[in-house]
Structure 1
Amino acid sequence: MQIDFHHAVTYIVARLADFSHEEAQIVAYSAQYVDDATNDGYIEFDTGALYSRIASAHKMLDYKNFNDLANHHAWIPFHFLPGNNGLPAGQGDDLGFIQRIICKPNSYVARDMVAECIQRKTDRNALHRLGITMHVYADTWAHQGFVGVEDAINRASQLTSKHAEHTSDSMGDSIKDYFSHLFDHAKGEFVAGALPLGHGAVLSYPDRPYLNWAYTNGAGEVVNRDNPKDFLEAADHMCIAMKSFRAGDASLSATGLTPEDKDKIDKLIRGTINEDGDIRHATWLKAIRKAHFSFGKIDLTYVPKGLNSWKHAALGTTEAKDTGNEDFIYNPNFLDSDWKKFHDALQMHRLYVVQELLPKYGICAA
């Protein structure tokens, strides 16, 4: 998924789950920042203090950057959560490793991850952790069928697509149903052959909300995908998760989206047709600005790096990429900054997934 879903839809669902604007902003910013936290290593301050952070992404959408793609340390805990073949803990020991780490939508593994996040709701960075968890949870729908390691299962061929059927978007602009051109198979197969990691071979197709598409996977199976259906289902389950978070209910027994809210989100998913995630994001922000949803008019923004970003507030830098040689001026508010709370939550999430959650399912991951 891309910024239109991870930021805008996460914000909308959080508000519909009765989070305040301020709370929903933190959850939504954190959900999207998982894709933008690409720097790792130590932060050095002029006082001599140090802070260690990890990266949760390596610009996966830059499909030509094989060096970054090869560094897949972040893929399993943050983008391709293993699904244990859809089985509960204690089952699946007879399956191979790759089969067990294939991402599955709303798996037992994923629901256990959400439940643990709810149990930590009193932590000082609980909302940041919730945003990270919602990113990973949503990606189990978008990234289903793929694994976060280099493996032939990720190879894809015969990739085709059709835009989701729709007659008009929720903003009242008429559009036509139309078929996209057949994908350049040579390009997709080149990416898959060079580096079969994640869903690189099918490029951004899993992440475009409006798309219906199909491909043949590395096992020779024809896979049909209905992104609008999957993305709406993800939003509904995120609503259940966030309502359960507010209630402190780790059993996830809350209700999801109302029929009216679900219809509005569905129409925006199907009607916002553009390959560029930033352009789709702008459409969602426009809908929020025009009070399209029941929580009213909000001027929502997202600044990942530079002036007015969480990183700028915490470290005083406007640079998007760190060199590793910076000597940052220590701000007494650093320890309570959203940026640090987010990075603390990243490390807590990864530690839990790798050292507790996956071993519970008999899965060993780096």
Structure 2
Amino acid sequence: MQIDFHHGVTYVCARLAGFEHPAASVIAYAAQYVDDAINAGTIRFDNGAMFDRISSAHKMLDYRNFQELANYQVWIPFHFLPGNGGLPAGQDPGGTFIDKLICCPNSYVAQEMVRECILRQDAAYGLYRLGITMHVYADTWAHQGFAGVNHRVNEARSLVDGDGLPDRALVNRLKGFFIGEALPLGHGAVLSNPDKPFLRWGYTNGRGEKISRDNPKDFLEAADCLCRVMRRYRSGDPDATVPGLPEPDKALIATLFQTITDNSGTMRHQQWVAAIAAGKFSFGPAGITYIAKGKGSWKHEALGTRDEVERNEIYHYDPSFLTSHWKLFHDALQAHHFYITHELLPRYGICVA
């Protein structure tokens, strides 16, 4: 999924789940920042203090940048959560280890991830972790059928559009992308098709299976489940019986998924921001913005830097850094990564770097 869903739709779902504007803005920003937190390493301050962080994305979510993308510490915990064949812990899907790594929508793994997030909400970084969790959870719908490793299971051929006809536009775009055996990483072989809410399309995977995808249907289901999760988060009970999206809002979201058809995620995002500002949803008008880097970004507020590209510099330390959005997001990022790789996946017999 792209910024239109991870920021715009996540904000809408948070508001419809009962969060007020300030909290919903934090959740939505954190959800999108997973795709923009590209730097790792130590931040050094002029008083001798230091802060260490990890990254959750790469310099470009661009499937031509294969060497950097082949980083399982980023792809598996943040973008392609293993689905264990849709089975609960203690059961194994048929086949080999790769069958455990393939992403499945709303899998038992994903539901356990959500549960942990709800139970740990008292942490200072609780809302930020909810945003991160919502990113990963939503991606289980968009990235279903693919694995965050370089494997032939991710291969795709015989690409078709929603009418079952050859998708020649995508085939032509792919001609410039074939670099060795790199395309079987993630959903690189179909580029951003899984991330566009309006597409209906299909392909034949690396096992010769014909796959049909209905993104509007999948994205609407994802949005409804996000709303339910955030209602449970607000209640503090991961097992609470809660409704999903209110019907009028759900119908509007479904319409927007199908009628906002720009190929650019940024352009689609602008239309979601406009719909929110115009008061199209039942929570009324609201102004939301997202700035990944530079003036006005979380990073700028925390470190005082407007640089788009990091340099080896010493930052001025202010005590407010400890409670800044940027610092709390990175605390949540590390908590999420540790839980997924060291606690959750091992319960499913999955060991990843």
- TM class by shorter chain equals over 0.9
Distance 1:129 1:136, change over 3 A: same
| Cα distance change of structure 1 residues 179 and 101 upon mapping to structure 2, 3 Å threshold | closer
**Further displaced range: 248-257 or 141-150:** 248-257
RMSD: 1.9
Letter in 2 for 1:271: T
- How many Å separate the matches in 1 of 2:334 and 2:59? 19
Which residue does the alignment assign to 1:129? Answer: 129
1:303 and 2:302 are equivalent in the alignment: no
Cα–Cα, structure 1 residues 72 and 58, in superposed 2: closer, same or farther, change >3 Å?
A: farther
Partner of 2:37: 37
Could you tell me the percent identity over the aligned residues? 57
Query: SS state of the match for residue 263, structure 1?
Result: helix
Change in CA separation of 1:330 and 1:114 when aligned onto 2, cut-off 3 Å: same
Name the residue aligned to 1:91: 91
2:50 corresponds to 1:50: yes
With the length of structure 2 as denominator, give the TM-score of the two structures: 0.96
Unpaired segments ≥5 residues, structure 1: 164-177
1:38-82 Cα deviation digits (max 9, x unpaired) = 011111111111111000011453222223222342000000000
Which residue pairs with 1:154 in the alignment? 154
SS at match of 1:75: helix
Q: Distance in 1 between matches of 2:12 and 2:166?
A: 30
SS at match of 1:333: helix
Q: What is the match of residue 356 of structure 1? A: 343
1:162 CA displacement: 3.5
Deviations 1:219-260 (A, max 9, x none): 111111000000000000001100000001112531111221
Distance, in Å, in 1 between the alignment partners of 2:40 and 2:46 is: 19
Deviation, structure 1 residue 99: 0.2
Q: Does 1:75 align with 2:62?
A: no
Matches within 5 A, 1:308-347: 308-323=296-311, 325-347=312-334
Query: Deviations along 1:143-180, whole A, 9 cap, x unmatched?
Result: 000001111111111122249xxxxxxxxxxxxxx997
Match of 1:254 among 242, 255, 259: 242
Contact 1:209 1:269 in 2 (8 A): yes
Preserved CA contact (<8 Å) 2:160 2:166? no
- Give 1:195 deviation, angstroms: 3.8
Give secondary structure in 2 for the equivalent of 1:7: helix
Output the CA distance in 2 between the equivalents of 1:49 and 1:70: 32
Q: 1:228 aligns with which of 202, 208, 216?
A: 216
Please give the alpha-carbon distance, in whole angstroms, between the structure 2 residues aligned to 1:275 and 1:131. 25
CA contact (8 A) 2:160 2:202 kept: yes
When residues 95 and 221 of structure 1 are mapped into structure 2, their CA distance, relative to the original with a 3 A threshold, is: closer
Q: Aligned partners of 2:183 and 2:262: how far apart in 1? A: 27
* 1:94 CA displacement: 5.7
> For residues 316 and 16 of structure 2, what CA distance do their matches in structure 1 show?
39
In structure 1, C-alpha distance between the alignment counterparts of 2:267 and 2:283, rounded to whole Å: 23
Cα 1:279–1:64 change in 2 (3 A) is: same
Look up the match of 2:13: 13
TM-score, with length taken from structure 1: 0.92
Pairing partner for 2:272 from 284, 298, 320: 284
Q: Are 1:365 and 2:352 an aligned pair? A: yes
CA distance in 2, matches of 1:194, 1:365: 20
Equivalent residue letter for 2:290:
Y
Equivalent in 224, 248, 268 of residue 256 of structure 2 = 268
Consecutive unaligned residues in structure 2, runs of 5 or more:
none
SS at match of 1:80: coil
Alpha-carbon distance between aligned partners in 2 of 1:301 and 1:280, rounded to the nearest angstrom: 14
Q: Deviations over 1:1-50 (max 9, x none)?
A: 00000000000000000001000000000000000000111111111111
Equivalents in 2 of 1:321, 1:159: separation in Å? Answer: 37
**Structure 1 residues 331-364: Cα deviation after superposition (integer angstroms, max 9, x where no partner):** 2100000000000000000000001100111111
Q: Which amino acid aligns with 2:106?
A: N
Alignment of 1:189-200 (within 5 A): 190=178, 193-200=181-188
SS in 2 for 1:160: strand
1:100 maps to which residue?
Answer: 100
Change (3 A) 1:249 1:80: same
Aligned to 1:119: 119
Query: Contact 1:121–1:127 (CA<8 Å) still a contact in 2?
Result: yes
Give the drift of 1:191: 5.4
Aligned-residue offset at 1:184: 1.8
- In the superposition, relative to structure 1, how do residues 60 and 222 fare at CA in structure 2: closer, same or farther (>3 Å)? farther
In structure 2, the residue corresponding to 1:317 is in which secondary structure? coil
